[in-house]
Amino acid sequence: MKTSGSISRRLTVLLACVAALLSVLSWSMVTSFARQAAERTQDNILEASASIIAEALRSEDGEVRLELPYSAFSMLGAISEDRVFYHVTQGGATLTGTPAISADFVSPAPGQTRLNTTTYQDEPLRVAAITRVILAGANRVAVTVYVGQTRYGVSLIANDLSRTAALLSIAFFTVAVALSAVVARTSLHQINVIAEAVARRGPTDLRPLRQTPPQELAPLLQSLNRLIDRLSRSLRQSEDFIAEAAHRIRTPLATVRAQAEVALHSVDDVTEKKRMRQIIRAVDESSRSAGQLLDHATVAYRSENIPDTAIDLAQIASTATAALQPTADMKDIDIHLDANTAMVRGDDVLLESALRNVLDNAVKYSPPETSVTVRVRTAGASGEITVSDSGPGLGDEPFEKYTERFQRGKNAEGTVGSGLGLTIARDVVLAHQGRIELTNNEGNGTCVSFILPRA
Amino acid sequence: MRVIHFAASLILALWANASAALEVEEQRTYPGTGPTTLRILSTADLDVFEPFLLSFQASVPEIGIDYTVSSSAEVFRAVAAGEAFDVVISSAMDLQFRLANDGFAQSFVSDATEALPDWAKWRNLIFAFTSEPAVAVISTRAFAGLPVPRTRQDLISILRENPERFAGTIGTYDVRSSGLGYLFATQEARISDAYWRLSEVMGRLDPQLYCCSAQMIDDVSSGQLALAYNVLGSYAGQRLAGPEGEGLQIILFEDFDNVMLRTALIPNTATAVTEAGAFVDALLEVGNRTEKGEWVLPPLAPSSAQELSFGPIRLGPTLLVYLDPLNRRAFLESWQSAIEQTPD
Ligand SMILES: Nc1ncnc2c1ncn2[C@@H]1O[C@H](COP(=O)(O)OP(=O)(O)O)[C@@H](O)[C@H]1O
Ligand SMILES: [Mg+2]
């Protein structure tokens, strides 16, 4: 069947795209967080360093004095190999250090710290500044300490974390794709369950689907059930029609037959009598065909609802044998009944009509003055009815063909028939969860068996 | 006040007076077979470095070498003033570091620099190729009858108890003029307050002040000095091995040692960059050797004795601390008042 692509694949690809997007997003977020964290760490160190230097400021003889504390610089060198610059101003004039680093810097208010990124020697330089007021003699002097550091260390840490984040994102993506495939498959499982339930059904099973579908599949299931309903209704209508038609044909035929019988007895001419007998036989055949059509419709109708009643196959066998006795007598055929009790569950009307059709074949295809055996047995978990004759056998065509509707064998040429008898038998047996077996007897004759589960 | 004035003028000499011509102590040219000449500016004496230069030239004869020796302060000043050199070698780690930090050095990466331990390089701008402890050299004759001092505390006691014997015979760096002396002194003062007590004791003994390790050791071997404090172990070792080594003893104090890294860098002004790289590679290869070998400059690998101490002076921004003029001024003030005590 031509399909418009796979939902599962489409779903997987869609989910994978989402996962890829999330991976990239999370990677870029982690990268920017890592950078921010590294920058904040550097800022903290720079601030600490500047404040350590500011704390070392003192005044002596009315002059601001400063000895740069060793620790202020050792902390700067501790985590990275970054270039370090500092500048200390006293009331705007340089006390010591590199003035260029504070060129574009508004010095913070006393007691305040300020951070700024400037460019020095073509490199970004992060600078922390802190202002402290020193009492030098009688004057209050604002001294600002600037400490600057390049950002190699920050980049190094950020890149390192970014690389780790990238690896994690790739791992996440891979896992997500695998999970997407699994998720897509499990979500489509429900559809498969319904599809399988439909596929498992027998050809005549037109009951509505009873599965509880997921919400999304409810409409599909509903319309499917509606379709099935419509189908079975129209099927039943046509079967009703056939039954009705068969019935209406049979009734006038019975009248015709009765009249022909009367006519047969009232004429003396041999040719007239022969003609009348031909009419009677033809009417019989038509009536039987109509009966079979009726039976067939009945089977189709009743097999939808097989009751759970226990039935003795022996009983069925004796009823059917009795029904066929007059026909058999006409050909001097002896129907031999050998029945043991075998209980099954199902519809006695259907089973009887099935057996009647098979017996009818046996009588029809057997030469006169032979015998037909009907046997009922139990074997393991099944009950069996076997009808065995000593007629011509089934021939060498595949036997399945005989159970198809309106199919007749080559050996049936010359006999009148509709090709429905074995079809009815098969449908009934299948509706009872059983099977039909057609075999040729050793020597000659046919053997037809119904094998049904025991009650 | 006089002291402050002196210090201030020295600072000016160090950083402001950039235009003055380089004061050259020694200079020699080793012509190569090719057109390129590598201009090397170094604080290491020619007789110390020549063996290395010759072996380098033996392996790459096409490169000519122009080797200039100057003081560490001069070396710094010249590079900071933008004078053109291809390789700069100095024993003053702080000044070398400052050149790198302030953007005067160019980055260089090779197998040899990658092989260096982390503590022996900084940002691929400066590379250490020796680690040299500061030692004391004593004249065994002058110390006859006295125990050999094992720690600085021992030395303080000995000097304090024998003022007559050691008056005028103690030699140490003039930290005002010697960059290396200043580095050793500041680091020692940072690590232990024994430094200031020792300086006080020495100051009372009318110490002789020197610019360079070599002269100090010479004066110990000639008998003029009883003790040279804080000289380069490498120079002392070389002298001890020579004919004048008799009567000399090297003391590596047990309380802590001060290990200096001799470093090389390629300045921004370098023109023969490839050749400079080859030269640095050769230096680092020698620096990374495992055997002591012939050369007087010791390898980078720390000896077992040094492993016990703090390790070499760290290449990092802490080296900037004592270079600050304010700190320098304060340190020199304290040093001067300790060392220059006129007995009268
Ligand atoms: N007892 C039998 N002996 C020989 N052939 C049979 C027998 N029963 C059925 N067949 C073959 O199977 C065909 C199908 O049988 P059936 O469905 O009853 O149709 P029909 O109306 O021809 O009897 C027959 O046409 C015939 O060829
Ligand atoms: Mg039939």
**DSSP letter, residue B34:** S
Tell me whether residues B326 and A95 touch, CB distance under 8 A: yes
Tell me: do A90 and A130 sit in the same domain.
yes
**In this predicted structure, what is the pLDDT of residue A204?**
67
Which tens digit of pLDDT belongs to each residue from B167-177? 889 999 999 98
User: What residues of chain B have any CB closer than 8 angstroms to a CB in chain A?
Assistant: 101-103, 122-123, 190, 314, 316-318, 320-321, 324-327, 330
Indicate whether residue A421 lines ligand 1 (CB < 6 A): yes
Looking at the domain assignment, is residue A153 inside a domain? yes
User: What residues of chain A have any CB closer than 8 angstroms to a CB in chain B?
Assistant: 65-70, 72-74, 76-77, 81-86, 95-98, 121, 152
Looking at the domain assignment, is residue A184 inside a domain? no
Distance from CA of A86 to the nearest CA of B (A): 10
Q: Output phi, psi for A260, to 5 deg.
A: -65, -40
Tell me whether residues A76 and B317 touch, CB distance under 8 A: yes
Tell me whether residues B326 and A96 touch, CB distance under 8 A: yes
Q: How confident is the model at residue B302 (pLDDT cuts 50, 70, 90)?
A: low
**In this predicted structure, what is the pLDDT of residue B11?**
45
- H-helix or E-strand containing B171? strand B170-173
Which tens digit of pLDDT belongs to each residue from A409-436? 888 888 888 889 999 999 999 999 999 9
Within 10 Å of residue B178's Cβ, how many Cβ atoms? 24
Strand partners, B121: B127
Q: Which of A103, A130, A159 finishes a domain?
A: A159
Reading the block at residue B234, the tokens are: 């490498």
Q: Domain limits at A254? A: 204-305
Tell me: do A242 and A345 sit in the same domain.
no
**In this predicted structure, what is the pLDDT of residue B79?**
94
**In this predicted structure, what is the pLDDT of residue A322?**
93
Tell me: do A296 and A312 sit in the same domain.
no
Q: Which of A159, A180, A213 finishes a domain?
A: A159
- H-helix or E-strand containing A338? strand A334-339
In chain B, how many domains are there?
2
Tell me: do A291 and A338 sit in the same domain.
no
Query: Whats the size of chain A, residue-wise?
Result: 455
Query: Which residue out of B102, B107, B326 would a mutagenesis test of the A interface target, given it has the greatest number of A Cβ atoms within 10 Å?
Result: B326
| Between residues B296 and A59, the one the model is more confident about | A59
**In this predicted structure, what is the pLDDT of residue B306?**
47
Reading the block at residue A150, the tokens are: 């390049």
DSSP one-letter string for A24-35: HHHHHHHHHHHH
The residue type at A330:
M
Looking at the domain assignment, is residue B344 inside a domain? no
Tell me: do B50 and B146 sit in the same domain.
no
Q: How confident is the model at residue B254 (pLDDT cuts 50, 70, 90)?
A: confident
Tell me whether residues B321 and A84 touch, CB distance under 8 A: no
Ligand 1 midpoint to CA A398 (Å): 13
Tell me whether residues A83 and B320 touch, CB distance under 8 A: no
Tell me whether residues B321 and A77 touch, CB distance under 8 A: no
Looking at the domain assignment, is residue B40 inside a domain? yes
Distance from CA of B285 to the nearest CA of A (A): 23
| Cα nearest neighbour of B186 on chain A | A70
Is B217 strand, coil or helix?
A: helix
**In this predicted structure, what is the pLDDT of residue B8?**
40
Tell me whether residues B318 and A96 touch, CB distance under 8 A: no
Tell me: do A398 and A412 sit in the same domain.
yes
A11: domain CATH number is 3.30.450
Tell me: do B267 and B121 sit in the same domain.
yes
Tell me: do B68 and B162 sit in the same domain.
no
Q: % helix / strand / coil in chain B, to the nearest 5?
A: 45, 20, 35
Looking at the domain assignment, is residue B1 inside a domain? no
Ligand 2 midpoint to CA B294 (Å): 122
Rounded to whole angstroms, the Cα distance separating A309 from A345 reads: 5
Rounded to whole angstroms, the Cα distance separating A23 from A36 reads: 20
**In this predicted structure, what is the pLDDT of residue B9?**
42
Q: Are B343 and B14 in contact (CB under 8 A)?
A: no
Chain B partners of A67 at a C-beta cutoff of 8 Å? 326-327, 330
> How buried is A375 (Cβ within 10 angstroms: 0-12 exposed, 13-18 middle, 19+ buried)?
middle
The average pLDDT across B306-314 equals 67
Looking at the domain assignment, is residue A187 inside a domain? no
| Between residues A7 and B323, the one the model is more confident about | B323
Ligand 2 midpoint to CA A328 (Å): 14
Chain B partners of A101 at a C-beta cutoff of 8 Å? none
Ligand 2 midpoint to CA A357 (Å): 6
Tell me whether residues A73 and B314 touch, CB distance under 8 A: no
Distance from CA of A142 to the nearest CA of B (A): 18
Tell me: do B122 and B10 sit in the same domain.
yes
Tell me: do A105 and A14 sit in the same domain.
yes
- H-helix or E-strand containing A73? helix A70-79
Looking at the domain assignment, is residue B90 inside a domain? yes
Rounded to whole angstroms, the Cα distance separating B248 from B122 reads: 37
Mean pLDDT of the residues in chain A: 89
Indicate whether residue A342 lines ligand 1 (CB < 6 A): no
Sheet holding A123-136, edge to edge: A93-97, A84-90, A139-150, A123-136, A113-120
Tell me: do A291 and A314 sit in the same domain.
no
Tell me: do A301 and A311 sit in the same domain.
no
> Going by CA atoms, what residue is nearest to atom 12 of ligand 1?
A402
**In this predicted structure, what is the pLDDT of residue B122?**
93
> How buried is A194 (Cβ within 10 angstroms: 0-12 exposed, 13-18 middle, 19+ buried)?
middle
Which tens digit of pLDDT belongs to each residue from A212-264? 888 888 898 899 899 989 988 888 888 788 778 878 888 888 898 899 889 88
Tell me: do B211 and B329 sit in the same domain.
yes
A426: domain CATH number is 3.30.565.10
Tell me: do A301 and A315 sit in the same domain.
no
Is A110 strand, coil or helix?
A: coil
The residue type at A265:
H
Ligand 2 midpoint to CA A420 (Å): 6
Looking at the domain assignment, is residue A1 inside a domain? no
Q: Domain limits at B214? A: 133-258+325-339
Tell me: do B294 and B250 sit in the same domain.
no
The answer to which of A133-137, B18-22, B105-109, B260-264 has the lowest mean pLDDT is: B18-22
Tell me: do A331 and A425 sit in the same domain.
yes
Q: Are A452 and A433 in contact (CB under 8 A)?
A: yes
Rounded to whole angstroms, the Cα distance separating B198 from B338 reads: 9
**In this predicted structure, what is the pLDDT of residue B177?**
85
**In this predicted structure, what is the pLDDT of residue A203?**
66
CB-proximal residues (5 Å) to ion ligand 2: A 361, 417, 421
Strand partners, B27: B68
| Cα nearest neighbour of A87 on chain B | B324
Q: Are A110 and A88 in contact (CB under 8 A)?
A: no
Q: Which of A305, A334, A360 finishes a domain?
A: A305
Rounded to whole angstroms, the Cα distance separating A18 from B205 reads: 83
Rounded to whole angstroms, the Cα distance separating B127 from B117 reads: 10
Which tens digit of pLDDT belongs to each residue from B21-40? 788 888 999 999 989 999 99
Which tens digit of pLDDT belongs to each residue from B190-247? 988 899 999 999 999 999 999 888 889 989 988 899 999 999 888 888 788 777 777 8
Evaluate if residue B5 carries a pLDDT over 50: no
Chain B partners of A97 at a C-beta cutoff of 8 Å? 324
pLDDT tens, chain A, 455 aa long: 778 888 888 888 888 899 999 999 999 999 999 999 999 999 999 999 999 999 999 888 888 889 999 999 999 988 789 999 999 999 889 999 999 998 888 889 898 899 999 999 999 999 999 999 998 888 889 999 999 999 999 999 899 999 999 999 999 999 999 998 898 888 888 888 888 888 887 666 788 888 888 888 889 889 989 998 998 888 888 878 877 887 888 888 889 889 988 988 898 889 988 998 888 888 888 888 888 888 888 887 788 778 888 999 999 999 999 999 988 988 899 999 999 999 999 999 899 999 999 999 999 999 999 999 999 999 999 999 999 999 888 888 888 888 998 888 888 888 888 889 999 999 999 999 999 999 998 878 999 999 999 98
Indicate whether residue A66 lines ligand 1 (CB < 6 A): no
Chain B partners of A58 at a C-beta cutoff of 8 Å? none
Tell me: do B278 and B143 sit in the same domain.
no
Tell me: do B331 and B207 sit in the same domain.
yes
Residue reference for tokens 């760096």: B173
Rounded to whole angstroms, the Cα distance separating A286 from A246 reads: 10
Tell me: do A315 and A453 sit in the same domain.
yes
DSSP one-letter string for A219-256: HHHHHHHHHHHHHHHHHHHHHHHHHHHHHHHHHHHHHH
Query: Which residue out of B15, B93, B321, B329 would a mutagenesis test of the A interface target, given it has the greatest number of A Cβ atoms within 10 Å?
Result: B321
Tell me whether residues A152 and B123 touch, CB distance under 8 A: yes
Looking at the domain assignment, is residue B59 inside a domain? yes
In chain A, how many domains are there?
3
Q: Using H for helix, E for strand and C for coil, what is the string for A151-174?
A: CHHHHHHHHHHHHHHHHHHHHHHH
Query: Which residue out of A73, A76, A120, A146 would a mutagenesis test of the B interface target, given it has the greatest number of B Cβ atoms within 10 Å?
Result: A73
Which tens digit of pLDDT belongs to each residue from A342-373? 999 999 989 999 999 999 999 999 999 999 99
Tell me: do B164 and B251 sit in the same domain.
yes
> Going by CA atoms, what residue is nearest to atom 6 of ligand 1?
A394
Tell me: do B266 and B332 sit in the same domain.
no
Tell me: do A419 and A396 sit in the same domain.
yes
Looking at the domain assignment, is residue A444 inside a domain? yes
Indicate whether residue A419 lines ligand 1 (CB < 6 A): yes
Looking at the domain assignment, is residue B105 inside a domain? yes
Evaluate if residue B178 carries a pLDDT over 90: no
Is B246 strand, coil or helix?
A: coil
Strand partners, A145: A88, A130
Evaluate if residue B342 carries a pLDDT over 50: yes
B79: domain CATH number is 3.40.190.10
Tell me: do B198 and B329 sit in the same domain.
yes
Query: Which residue out of A52, A68, A82 would a mutagenesis test of the B interface target, given it has the greatest number of B Cβ atoms within 10 Å?
Result: A68
pTM score of the predicted model? 0.67
| Cα nearest neighbour of B190 on chain A | A70
| Between residues A136 and B99, the one the model is more confident about | B99
Tell me: do B140 and B245 sit in the same domain.
yes
**DSSP letter, residue B128:** E
Looking at the domain assignment, is residue A11 inside a domain? yes
Q: Are B186 and B331 in contact (CB under 8 A)?
A: yes
